[in-house]
Structure formats: structure tokens, C-alpha cells
Amino acid sequence: MRKFTRAAATLALAALPFLATAQSGDRLVALSAGNTTPLAPIYLAETLGYAQQEGLTLTVKTVYANSLNLVVAGEGDLSVIGVSSALVPVREGKETSIVYAISSGLGTGFMAASANVKSIADCTRVSTSRAGSAVFSSAMAYKVNGGGKFNILELGDANQIVPSVLSGGSDCAVSALAVLQPGLEKGLRLLVDPRNPSTVPPNTIQNTVSSGLWGMKDNLRQKRPAVEKLMRALKRVEQFIKTAPPEQVAAELIKHPDFRTFPVDVIARQVAAEKLFWFPDGGYVRGSAWPGTLAYFKYGLPFIDGGNKLYSWDERVDMSYWISANGQPASR
């Protein structure tokens, strides 16, 4: 009996790390603006089990254009969207904090067109995401600096951008490459391809941050341990994506209920397209990149005043969570 008791005690002690993970009180709800591959890293933090292994219960839900309003209302902790949207509540006196960068501005600056459109100036109607998103800022930047005269069709679901062009509702589209890929495979062509800098209109998306994570400042402070755990989980996601073949990344991503209906081969091609733009500076939003990023966001959000402290890096970006999880960045 004594041997049995000692063995049971040993098993119980061995199980403690798992029990601590499973029973952790740290929880976060991330509300995503779209079940699209460009936002895959946050979904992978859940499906790969990295968040749980860090002691965090992470729930990622796709709520499309409602992401901003629901986070402001306290229905979620983090908005997974173009971080330009974090600036919208500020003018109403609400305090937000950007805590992570998922992709660079180059990643959401692709512009595709139907075969008869030869230049930005030829576009008559451009399909993109709604005002407040980073891709909307890209579209407006191209209109101002690329000679465009087009109208913009705002869509709440990024998965509808390509169908709107293929059906004739628009003749051009601006979004991430992975979002546009199905259209390119059906005859659309790229007018702006950030992989070729010469195609990008000047003073638009260069050296900027696009999508990421933000939340309400006080709520995130109260949940600091949980946010730091998410930062560690995302670092592991970054390493996984950098080392795993796209097919393996896709296989993990479609385990999430919001991606279950997507063919794995389609997701794999999109993952390969997005790898170049994910994790700018490891997710760290540099203060030196903020002025250019703010100018980029202003194309889509004209109320932004770069001279107003409310929109400054010090007020709107909080990298302390990232630093606590990962240490000091290589550059600021």
C-alpha cells in the first residue's frame, strides 16, 4: 500500500504542470475582423495549443466588421484587425492600446484589377475593407498618390472582396495578397505588388504597420499576465510559421472552426504568400516607424492629427507586454 501511495503521489506531482495550465484563470477573448489567412497567427496561437501551454485560455472568434465596436463595449479583450482602427475610439475619449503587429503595411497594400484595367487611373470602383481598416487606408493612399479617381466599395467581410470584382461589382480591389489570390488564379492581375517596390505609389505604405492586436487600455492592464502569456505564445507561432512548410501551417489553421470549410491546399498557397509580411520586427511596433504609420492611417482616417499627443506612439502603443515576454527589441 505504501508503494502504491508513493507512486500515486509521484504521478500527481508530474501532472501538476498540466493541471496548472488547464485550470489557469488567465483568459482572453480575441475578436477577429475576418477568418482570412493574413490574420492566421492569432488563430494558430489557439489551434497549436501554444496559448494553453503558456497557461492562457485563448478564444478567437470571427466577428468581421463588429470587432472594433465589440471590443470597445467590453465583449472581447483584443481586436484582431488593422491597428488603425484603434485610433477610432480615441476621438470619443476612449483609451486604447496597440500591443502587437501581425503584418506590415506592405502586406495589406496589394491592388488587383480585371484584365481591361491597365493602371490605378483606370480603376472606376475599388472593393476593399471598411473605413478604419488598414487596407482601406491603402486604397485611399493609392487614390491620392497614385492618380486614382475611383469610388470605393466597403465590404465587412474580406472574403467578399474578390467575388465583388469577379461578378462585375468593381473592377479593382485592394487587400492582402492571400485575400486576392483566388482572384489572381481566375484572371485578375496585380497593379500594385509590394514585392516589387517600383509598383507602389510613393509616400503610401512603405515602412508601416498594418494589422495587429489592440484593446482597451485599462482592461489590458488588468489582464497583464494573460497578455504577456499571449505574447510568448505568438513568439512560438512566429517560429512555427518560419520553420514549418505551408502545408503544415494550413493543416493546423483549418483545425479552427472558423477555417474548417477552407480547402487545405488553398490555405497553403495563401500561407506561402503571406510569410514575407508577417511578424514585422517580431511583432514589436517601433516608435521610429510610428510617424510614417500614422501618416498612412490618415489617408483612411482624416481626423488623425499627427501633432496631437492622443495619437502619439507613447499614448497609443504599449510594447511593455511584448518586452516582458520577449526582452528588449533589437531596435526601437
Q: What confidence tens digit (pLDDT) does each residue in 180-197 have?
A: 999 999 999 999 999 999
Grid cell at residue 55:
497557461
Fold classification of 106-199 is D-Maltodextrin-Binding Protein; domain 2 (3.40.190)
Judged by phi (left if over 0) then psi (alpha if -120 to 50, else beta), residue 94 lies in beta
Q: Residue 50 and residue 40: Cα distance in Å, rounded?
A: 14
pLDDT, tens digit (0-9, with 9 covering 90-100), for 251-270: 999 999 999 999 999 999 99
11 pLDDT exceeds 90?
no
Q: Kindly give, in sequence order, each residue whose CB lies less than 8 Å from that of residue 156, ignoring residues fewer than 6 positions away.
A: 64, 65, 129, 130
| pLDDT of amino acid 9 | 41
d(C-alpha 127, C-alpha 207), whole Å: 24
Place of cell 498618390: 145
Q: What is the pLDDT of residue 19?
A: 38
pLDDT, position 268: 97
Residue 25: its pLDDT value, please?
Answer: 81
pLDDT band at 330 (very low <50, low <70, confident <90, very high): confident
Instruction: Sort residue 118 into left (φ over 0), alpha (ψ -120 to 50) or beta.
Output: alpha
Q: Is the per-residue pLDDT at 21 higher than 50?
A: no
pLDDT for residue 4: 37
Between CA 126 and CA 140 the distance in angstroms is 10
What SS3 class is residue 112? strand
Percent of the chain at pLDDT > 90 equals 91
The answer on pLDDT for 6 being more than 70 is no
Closest CA to 229 of 46, 79, 14: 46
Average pLDDT (97-108) is: 97
The mean pLDDT value of the chain amounts to 92
Distance in angstroms between the alpha carbons of the first and the last residue of the chain: 61
What is the layout of strands, in order, in the sheet containing 172-175?
Answer: 151-155, 125-129, 172-175, 110-113, 189-192
Nearest Cα to Cα of residue 29 among 65, 66, 71, 87: 71
Lowest-pLDDT choice from 14-28, 48-62, 134-148, 241-255: 14-28
Helices 224-243 and 246-253, axial angle in degrees (round to 10): 140
Residues of the chain with CATH 3.40.190.10: 2-104+209-326, 106-199
Question: Tens digits of per-residue pLDDT, 273-326?
Answer: 999 999 999 999 999 999 999 999 999 999 999 999 999 999 999 999 999 999
Q: Is the pLDDT of residue 66 over 60?
A: yes
At 39-60, the pLDDT tens digits run: 999 999 999 999 999 999 999 9
The domain made up of 2-104+209-326 is a member of CATH 3.40.190.10: yes
Whether residue 248 is predicted with pLDDT greater than 80 in this model: the reply is yes
Q: What pLDDT shows up at residue 332?
A: 74
pLDDT band at 131 (very low <50, low <70, confident <90, very high): very high
Taking residue 245's Cβ as centre, other Cβ atoms within 10 Å add up to: 11
Say which residue, 322 or 2, is predicted with more confidence: 322
